[in-house]
Structure 1
Amino acid sequence: MINIIEFKKSNCKNCYKCIRSCPIKAISFNNNQAKIIDDNCILCGNCLKVCTQHAKSVIDETEKVKKFIEKKYSVYASIAPSFPSAFKSHNAKALFSAIKKLGFSYIQETAIGAYAVSMEYEKLIKKCEMNNIISTACPVVVSLVEKYYPVAIQFLAPVVSPMIAHAKMLKHTYGENIKVVFIGPCLSKKKEYRDGENDYLIDAVITFDELKKWFEDEGINLNKFQDENIKYDEPLIERYYPIVGGILKTLDDQSNYKLLSVDGLENCMETLDSIVKGNINGYFIEMNSCRGGCINGPCNTSKSFIEAYDDILNYASNKNTISDLKDIKVNVNLSKFFCNREVKNSIPDDESISYILKKIGKFKKEDELNCGACGYSSCREKAIAVYNNKADLNMCLPYMKEKAESISNIIINSSPNAILALNSELYIQEANNSVYRIFNIENIKLAGKNVFEFFDCPDFVIVMDTGKDILNKKVYYEKFDVTVEQSVIYVKDHDAIIIIMKDITKEEKNQEQLNKFRRETVEIAQRVIEKQMRVAQEIASLLGETTAETKVALTKLKDTIVTKMGESE
């Protein structure tokens, strides 16, 4: 099975916006990643419209079409009647000429297929055999009924869509070997043509957005294209198909049914609910999944709704290029068979739901906020999705916020260090418990105060101005008689400052006492040394005098002895 919508994992940012926009919750979210549940998806395209992260893309078959052209196939374009709403040029001939420039052999409006479909609708209305008739031009509506309202399959008009009808007519007229490429605003057409019942009728589908990209790649400017040789052979009234009520315009007002137009999936689902309950009878209902009709399709993104609507009206009212309706011949089978493809989710019992809810802190009814942030309309609906492995417990934003705040508060307030958070203007945003304890600040709320009212340190300004951290610097706050080992850290993403202060007052005072003791010891030692030196000097002085006297006495004695010895000789 080919995935029509593809995800870019790196772009999916846990916003749950696509889940909120999905009317049938065909998107699962596991391991921080959203994923389309293909069997559940009806390809309405809402998730594409709302995704601001560009995490989703549509499978592009432009290259496939280029290969058809390169291989010299006869490539026929069936272009949806909403095309005037997609392109800036008001000249359809310019658009048709530009498409031919790309290598297409022939271009024709799908409105011809819509004419054939309307004829089939008229037959059903005249037979008056169905209690209600739901139009089947929109493949999203068909998928919605087959998968989520199978009881209402009996009310689907057993008629193919204009795209399929036109493809059958083209191949019947020009041969089975031609390649038919549908060009339109609809995402679901990429899936419809792969339906086994439609094999080989449509060979590729490209969107208006993809066609515009192709023009850009080839350097084609529609405003510079004119080709008066292009002929129109499509009917008039079927050009209204892409706007609300467009199908009804093609039907006989004097029908046996009440005519009703319903657009937007929410309205379609509400109407189907009423049909299933038996509250609606005798209606022919034109259903379109896109609010405002096909001109608001997910792959038609160039204009505002009003501009698109006006362009359709202007083009559809142009009577100068219309062929006679009687010239159009329909010689193909346009019947359609629908299948029950019901999507079944397991519905847990109340005990299982309660167990899941308790895991995300919802112990009583009041805890169920039903905020819808996770994408589900209620906490119980989200719990059922978790049970079916379509959602994560952690998708509950209030619970995760509370949990994150609880954990962060535990961590921050359990820290023995003082922690301050300052904004770009150096006002205190947060202060943990240790700030109040270390600086003995009582009955004062620091949040919202200028940091310099309490902590006079120029490092805060320096770090904010330079964006460079100052780490592990010893700072003495005289006002509090507190010494800290301080780190001032700049948080670029938030243009804020985090201050972490380790209280080293006691260590500093102990160190000061130790230093004082050492100084006193040194002073005592110095005094002892000095005293000893004086004693040594005094002793040395005394020894010097005694030695000199002894020397004199001994010298005299020696001289006397020597003299006496001389005399005796």
Structure 2
Amino acid sequence: MESIFRLNVKNCRDCYKCIRNCLIKAIRYSDGHAQIIQPECIQCGECVVTCPRHGHFVQSDLELVRRHIRAGDKVVASVDSSFIADLDVSCIEDMRAALLQMGFYDAQESAIGAEIVSREYEKIMMNEETNVLISSSCPSVNMLVCKHYPDLMKYLAQVESPMEVHCKRLKQEYPDAFIVYIGPCYARKTEAMEGECCDAVIMFSDLKDWMHETGVTVINSGKRTDRGIRARRYPRPDGIVKSMSRIPGWNRVSIDGLADCISALEEIRQGSINKVFVEMTACEGSCVNGPAIRSNRYENRVRGTVQVNRYAGDYDFGVREERSVRKLFIPDPVKRDVPSEDEIERILTKLDKNSAETALNCGACGYPTCREMAAALCQGKAEMDMCLPYLHEKAERHSRDVVNNTLEAADRLIDKQMRVVQNVASLLGETTAETKVMLVRLKEAIQDDE
């Protein structure tokens, strides 16, 4: 499947920041710019967030949605529960009122799907033989397991995400509707494209731009029309765990942030964990800190979580799902060439990084160690000039060559000019000493600059 990410080549300026922040290292640097390697990418969106020049971006479905509204189609929105963290609203009714002004036929919150997913996790824990159960609500985590930890897929809950469950319910309720998911997560776009749950995915940032353009304002009513629902905790860290009932004999843990997810998967791989439900979300701070939430992400981590807590509670919607919400995840293991030690050592020698003294491990290239950089070079994912110390030494050598060539040329020029001057001086009966001194001083000045 084609990547959801695009690159503005003109804005990619050799900073390697996307490589540095991509923990999967699913980026190749070639021809002067970064290229996402789709088969390895888990679509967490970190490259988009961290690029200082907005080189990486995601193609928006906004115009597609607007086109359907202009055509008079019945457009229905599934709104991610993290809306409460990003917009100044009190409840889903505030969001629904604004979306109806913009031409939507209806809008509901995806927490309805989250409640159904939580009940399904509980059923698996009660009725199926497994030592570990990993939540399948985060599409980036699902891709991480399928692509990079396929041996752990037996622990991944074979359950649809809240978005998939809710959008399919909307399809049942409105069979002829165009279903749109609105949220903070780029990876949901791929989840939507791979299935049949919804027709378009737009981000909260898209929605804000649209509202600004049309002059629609979300009005905070300050009212609550229902009791707090526990499934509304899904967007915050440990939100899935807090939306579930305790199952005897099972422990529950919450992991957020890709680095910690990778560490947890490595620990699970060791086989030392027993009867643990592991909630995993790729974004540090979970969905309230999703990549496409417009506001400052680090402010939202606290404020957004507080907002989610206020909106949630200890009750349930009480919805039932007649159809099965099970899903079959298929392994899609990454095929990476593993370079031999000889190949890595050969590259390290070329880089002059084959000893503890010369291997700086400075990370300027985007890789944490010189050895990892050398492995990436062997795999065709990096270029020699990405190594800053190597590039500096290369520039120094070039500079020395220029100076040395200049000095040799100066010697030849002095000899040639002195012969001419001596011939002229002999005719005029004058000395050539002063001219020679000036030419020698020019040569010495070049040597001093070196």
Taking structure 1 as the reference length, the TM-score comes to: 0.69
Give the drift of 1:414.
4.7
How many residue pairs align between the two structures?
425
* CA-to-aligned-CA distance 1:188-212 (integer Å, 9 cap, x gap): 00111111xx22x210000111111
**Of 233, 241, 249, which residue of structure 1 is paired with 2:242?**
249
Residues 493-541 of structure 1: CA deviation (Å, up to 9, x unaligned): xxxxxxxxx9xx97999799689769xxxxxxxxxxxxxxxxxxxxxxx
Aligned to 1:379: 370
Query: Equivalences for 1:375-414 in 2 at 5 Å?
Result: 375-412=366-403, 414=405
2:331 corresponding residue in structure 1: 340
8 Å CA contact 1:128–1:256 kept in 2: the answer is no
One-letter amino acid matched to 1:210: D
The residue number in structure 1 matching 2:35 is: 35
1:427-472 alpha-carbon deviations (Å, 9 max, x no partner): xxxxxxx9xx9xxxxxxxxxxxxxxxxxxxxxxxxxxxxxxxxxxx
User: Hey, what does 2:312 align to over in structure 1?
Assistant: 316
Range with greater deviation from structure 2 (246-255 or 28-37): 246-255
Q: Which residue of 1 aligns with 2:302?
A: 306
Distance 1:233 1:111, change over 3 A: farther
Please state how far the C-alpha of 1:361 moved relative to its aligned partner. 2.6
The question of 1:180 aligning with 2:179 is answered yes
Matches of 2:98 and 2:283 in 1, distance apart? 28
Which residue of 2 is the match for residue 160 of structure 1?
160
Q: 3-state DSSP class of the match of 1:372?
A: coil
Residue 349, structure 1, aligned to residue 340, structure 2: yes
Amino acid of the residue matched to residue 163 of structure 1?
Answer: M
Q: Percent identity?
A: 37
CA change 1:233–1:69 in 2 (3 A) is farther
Q: State whether residues 125 and 256 of structure 1, in contact with CA within 8 Å, keep that contact through their aligned partners in structure 2.
A: no
1:325 corresponds in structure 2 to: 317
Is residue 237 from structure 1 mapped to residue 237 from structure 2 by the alignment? Answer: no
Correspondence list, 1:66-215, <5 A: 66-90=66-90, 92-175=92-175, 177-195=176-194, 198-199=195-196, 201-215=197-211
Residue 128 of structure 1 and its aligned partner are, at CA, apart by: 4.6
Check conservation: 2:182, 2:202, Cα contact below 8 A: yes
The runs of 5 or more residues in structure 2 that have no matched partner are: 431-450
1:277 matched to 2:270? The reply is: yes
Give how far 1:226 is off.
Answer: 6.7
Once the 2 structures are TM-superposed, how far is the Cα of residue 253 of structure 1 from its aligned partner? 2.7
Q: Report the residue type matching 2:340 in the other structure.
A: D
Residue 448 of structure 2 corresponds to none
Residue 264 of structure 1 is matched in structure 2 by 257
Q: Secondary structure at the match of 1:367?
A: coil
Conserved 8 A contact 1:73-1:178: yes
In 2, Cα distance between the equivalents of 1:370 and 1:22? 17
AA in 2 matched with 1:339? I
Task: Tell me if 1:8 matches 2:25.
Answer: no
Q: Give the drift of 1:233.
A: 7.3
Check whether the contact 1:243–1:293 (CA below 8 A) recurs between aligned residues: yes
2:352 to 361, 365, 369: 361
Deviant stretches of 4+, over 4 Å: 89-92, 230-235, 505-518
Alignment check: 8 A CA contact 2:92 2:108 kept: no
Q: Given residue 131 of structure 1, which amino acid in structure 2 is its aligned partner? A: N
Q: In structure 2, what is the Cα distance between the partners aligned to 1:364 and 1:514?
A: 62
Question: What is the root-mean-square deviation of aligned Cα atoms in Å?
Answer: 2.9
Alignment of 1:18-57 (within 5 A): 18-57=18-57
One-letter amino acid of the structure 1 residue matched with residue 402 of structure 2: I
How far off its partner does 1:99 sit?
1.4
Q: In 2, Cα distance between the equivalents of 1:266 and 1:238?
A: 26
Distance in 2 separating the partners of 1:226 and 1:139: 31
Shift of 1:409: 3.5
The within-5 A match list for 1:441-456 is none
